[in-house]
Amino acid sequence: MRPPHLQPTLIAIVIVGGAFGTAAREALSLSIASIGSFPLAIFLINVVGSFALGLLLEGLVRSGADTGRRRNVRLLAGTGFLGGFTTYSALATDTDLLLRAGDIGIGILYAVGTLLVGLVAAWAGIVIAASTHRRRNNPGVGA
Amino acid sequence: MTPLVFLALALAGGLGAGSRFVLDGLIRSRVTSSYPLATLVINITGSFLLGLATGLTLSATLAPEVQLIVGAGFLGGYTTFSTASVESVRLVREGRYGVALVSSVGMLVGAVIASAAGLLLGGL
């Protein structure tokens, strides 16, 4: 049996999710205006995507083994959609362009702000999925 | 943006995500390290290439439509911010603070430098 990353069906699942995630990112970045020179759309996309991926992956890990339908959901929604929805290259290049334009403060705020708020968002997603799962498995606790 | 460019951009993003999935698996199967090296390699190479594509576009070597499809499409789908965030938080939760710092701050600094090198090479 080939490893997952060499199975055509699984690669196709990631491609489909990635195409929809990229389309959603582009649609949002066309409709959310920047605040001054601050790239608000990509900031929001990366923060929301980090929260959603934390929630999804932690929920899946706690619901059972990474096989069959559960793995397909992870590859379609996680690796594909949310991986394609969020982006690191735009963060890096937009930061460079801000710094080169002399917008040093905004450039640093954008890069460091995205990193920190993204980490808090991923952490919140993981913690919410973990506590939801615990409650579901211990209905008497805290009731 | 024309509907055709938007469609091509989305498809390119799918191919970028598929490339990330395959490369991630290849790196993980060859490098036995508990450090999430694959995401670092993917995000730094993708940032360098976006810097290069952007530099080539701003110096009028590359058409803006190509920049959208390759940059926002393929490279946007290839690189990922959400995985980097989740991996860093997992490392912190495991108490591996040094590795978490590399996978968060180190990746950001590396990607910004790689993209700046791409911009320079692209003629900006």
Asked whether residue A14 carries a pLDDT value surpassing 70, the answer given is: yes
What number is the average pLDDT over the span B64-69?
A: 95
Asked whether residue A138 carries a pLDDT value surpassing 90, the answer given is: no
Percent of chain A, pLDDT > 90? 92
pLDDT score of A140 = 56
What number is the average pLDDT over the span A68-97?
A: 98
Phi, psi of B31 (to 5 degrees): -105, 115
**Cβ distance of B80 and A23 shorter than 8 Å:** no
User: Is B57 in CB contact (< 8 Å) with chain A?
Assistant: no
CB B25 within 8 A of CB A3: yes
**Cβ distance of A88 and B6 shorter than 8 Å:** no
**Rounded CA gap, A141 and A134, in Å?**
9
**ipTM metric:** 0.96
Phi, psi of A35 (to 5 degrees): -95, 105
How many A×B Cβ pairs under 8 Å?
Answer: 210
Q: State the smallest CA–CA distance between residue A95 and chain B in angstroms.
A: 7
Which residue, among A14, A88, A95, A103, would best test binding to B if mutated, counting the most B CBs under 10 Å from its CB? A88
CB B122 within 8 A of CB B61: yes
User: Is B16 in CB contact (< 8 Å) with chain A?
Assistant: yes
Asked whether residue B99 carries a pLDDT value surpassing 50, the answer given is: yes
Q: Which residues, at least 6 apart from A54, have a Cβ–Cβ distance to it below 8 Å?
A: A121, A122, A123, A124, A125, A126, A129, B85, B86, B89
pLDDT score of B36 = 86
Question: What pTM value is reported for the model?
Answer: 0.95
- Residue A121 tokens, joined: 């968002």
What number is the average pLDDT over the span A68-84?
A: 97
Min mean pLDDT across A36-45, A131-140, B35-44 is at A131-140
Of the pLDDT bands very low, low, confident and very high (cuts 50, 70, 90), residue A143 is very low
**Rounded CA gap, B9 and B28, in Å?**
28
Asked whether residue A50 carries a pLDDT value surpassing 70, the answer given is: yes
pLDDT score of A139 = 61
User: Is A59 in CB contact (< 8 Å) with chain B?
Assistant: no
**Rounded CA gap, A33 and A10, in Å?**
36
Q: In angstroms, how far is the first alpha carbon of chain B from the final one?
A: 24
